[in-house]
């Protein structure tokens, strides 16, 4: 009799647990995800989400962490402190191919590199021989793309001088002060230089050059939004809502640059005047990863040719492109 009573109590307990959903994640389970955002233009597009942080479906709260460098972003993703983050595309590929476990959810930014010059005779790539170009990004995208374009045009790199010794901030200051005449630099520096030194004009556009060489209809991709697969698979409603909110935020920033610039400064990403001047030229975009695969691979193949280590030695496999 006692044995039967114990069995009935056990069955009742199991029934109660099953009714409560004890064997699976409950809709009321709460979780916080932390998203890493880089200072500079790559962080512009997500600014409305940071300002208007809301709980996502399934009680998923979002916290944002502003970080100064891609290297720190990689470290915090690897430590598990972050569940999502923004990275230069080549670093996202490198993290993934080396077993980092963070596929790309979306392409969120395109190139923004220009050669500015006071030299009126510099009108075309074929005018570069004989010039000295002070450039940013040795061993990174500016360096690789510059060499790629020179090779495509049949220009011997030895026919010009490229100096990578000056950091971007100092180079912008020197260009504004008239101490250097021809520079390769990115946004937002290019916009700021033109505001202060109108004679420093864009002479060569790296984005247009990419479209010409690749027969592409958009500039090269450069910023990836990477996420933990657990977020996408365990909380699909929250993941889908996050991607939609990010896409909407980018559209809002592009439509309202003055308002966005105020928020960008408020959250420590960049000063408002620089942000407002640069927003139209920063290549903000939002393409779900699977739809961005072809152009992403085209870009990564160029980097692979010049420096295999820069993307982890090989192209990422198809699982790098996380379905929405």
233 with 303, same domain: the answer is: yes
Beta-carbon contacts of 127 under 8 Å, excluding residues fewer than 6 positions away, are 121
Place of tokens 């699982």: 319
Place of tokens 């909407």: 248
Average pLDDT of the chain?
A: 89
The domain in which residue 134 lies consists of: 113-214
**DSSP labels, 207-255:** HHHHHHHHT-SSPPEEEEEEE-HHHHHH-HHHHHHHHHHHHHHHHHHHH
164 with 234, same domain: the answer is: no
Q: What is the pLDDT of residue 24?
A: 38
pLDDT-above-90 percentage for the chain:
78
Higher pLDDT, 160 or 22: 160
Distance CA 264, CA 276 (A): 9
Q: What is the pLDDT of residue 30?
A: 65
Distance CA 70, CA 68 (A): 7
Q: Look at residue 21 and tell me whether its pLDDT is greater than 50.
A: no
42 falls within a domain: yes
pLDDT tens-digit map of 44-76: 999 999 998 777 887 888 999 999 999 999 999
Q: Look at residue 12 and tell me whether its pLDDT is greater than 50.
A: no
Distance CA 185, CA 172 (A): 8
Q: Look at residue 227 and tell me whether its pLDDT is greater than 90.
A: yes
What average pLDDT does range 157-164 have in this prediction?
96
Q: What is the pLDDT of residue 54?
A: 73
Q: Look at residue 11 and tell me whether its pLDDT is greater than 90.
A: no
Q: What is the pLDDT of residue 101?
A: 86
324 pLDDT tier (thresholds 50, 70, 90): confident
Indicate the SS3 state at residue 117: strand
Residue 132 token pair: 């000295």
Provide, for the chain, the percentages of residues in helix, strand and coil under a 3-state DSSP scheme, each rounded to the nearest 5. 50, 20, 30
Report DSSP state, residue 55: P
Burial of 272 (0-12, 13-18, 19+ CB in 10 A): middle
pLDDT tens-digit map of 258-268: 999 999 999 99
Q: Tell me phi and psi for residue 287, to 5 degrees.
A: -125, 120
Number of domains observed in the structure of the chain: 2
163 with 125, same domain: the answer is: yes
Q: What is the pLDDT of residue 165?
A: 96
pTM of this structure: 0.86
17 falls within a domain: no
**DSSP labels, 285-303:** EEEEGGGGHHHHHHHHHHH
pLDDT tens-digit map of 73-91: 999 999 999 999 999 999 9
Q: What is the pLDDT of residue 29?
A: 61
Q: What is the pLDDT of residue 14?
A: 34
Q: Look at residue 248 and tell me whether its pLDDT is greater than 70.
A: yes
Looking at residue 50, which CATH number applies to its domain? 3.40.190.10
Q: What is the pLDDT of residue 9?
A: 39
Residue 25 vs residues 20, 58, 75, 225: alpha-carbon distances, Å = 11, 10, 29, 26
Q: What is the pLDDT of residue 58?
A: 74
198 with 284, same domain: the answer is: no
Q: Look at residue 288 and tell me whether its pLDDT is greater than 50.
A: yes
96 with 232, same domain: the answer is: yes
Q: What is the pLDDT of residue 17?
A: 34
123 with 210, same domain: the answer is: yes
**What length does the chain have?**
324
Distance CA 111, CA 114 (A): 9
Residue 247 token pair: 């896409």
Q: Tell me phi and psi for residue 64, to 5 degrees.
A: -115, 140
Q: Look at residue 309 and tell me whether its pLDDT is greater than 60.
A: yes
Pick the last residue of a domain from 169, 193, 214: 214
């Amino acid at each position: 009799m006692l044995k039967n009573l114990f069995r009935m109590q056990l069955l009742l307990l199991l029934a109660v647990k099953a009714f409560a959903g004890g064997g699976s994640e409950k809709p009321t389970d709460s979780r916080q995800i932390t998203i890493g955002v880089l200072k500079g233009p790559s962080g512009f597009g997500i600014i409305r989400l940071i300002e208007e942080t809301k709980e996502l479906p399934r009680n998923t709260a979002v916290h944002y962490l502003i970080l100064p460098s891609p290297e720190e972003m990689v470290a915090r993703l690897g430590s598990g402190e972050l569940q999502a983050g923004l990275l230069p595309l080549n670093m996202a590929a490198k993290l993934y191919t080396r077993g980092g476990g963070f596929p790309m959810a979306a392409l969120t930014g395109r190139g923004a590199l220009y050669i500015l010059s006071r030299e009126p005779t510099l009108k075309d790539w074929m005018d570069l021989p004989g010039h000295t170009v002070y450039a940013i990004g040795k061993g990174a995208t500016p360096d690789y793309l510059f060499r790629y374009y020179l090779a495509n045009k049949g220009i011997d790199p030895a026919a010009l001088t490229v100096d990578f010794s000056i950091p971007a901030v100092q180079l912008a200051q020197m260009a504004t002060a008239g101490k250097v005449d021809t520079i390769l630099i990115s946004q937002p520096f290019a916009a700021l230089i033109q505001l202060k030194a109108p004679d420093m004009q864009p002479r060569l556009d790296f984005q247009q050059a990419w479209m010409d060489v690749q027969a592409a209809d958009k500039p090269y991709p450069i910023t990836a939004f990477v996420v933990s697969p657990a977020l996408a698979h365990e909380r699909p409603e929250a993941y889908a809502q996050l991607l939609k909110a990010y896409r909407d935020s980018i559209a809002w920033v592009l439509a309202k640059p003055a308002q966005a610039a105020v928020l960008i400064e408020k959250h420590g990403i960049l000063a408002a005047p620089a942000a407002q001047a640069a927003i139209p030229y920063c290549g903000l975009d939002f393409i779900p990863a699977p739809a961005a695969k072809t152009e992403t691979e085209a870009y990564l193949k160029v980097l692979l040719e010049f420096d295999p280590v820069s993307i982890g030695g090989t192209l990422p496999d198809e699982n790098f492109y996380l379905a929405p």
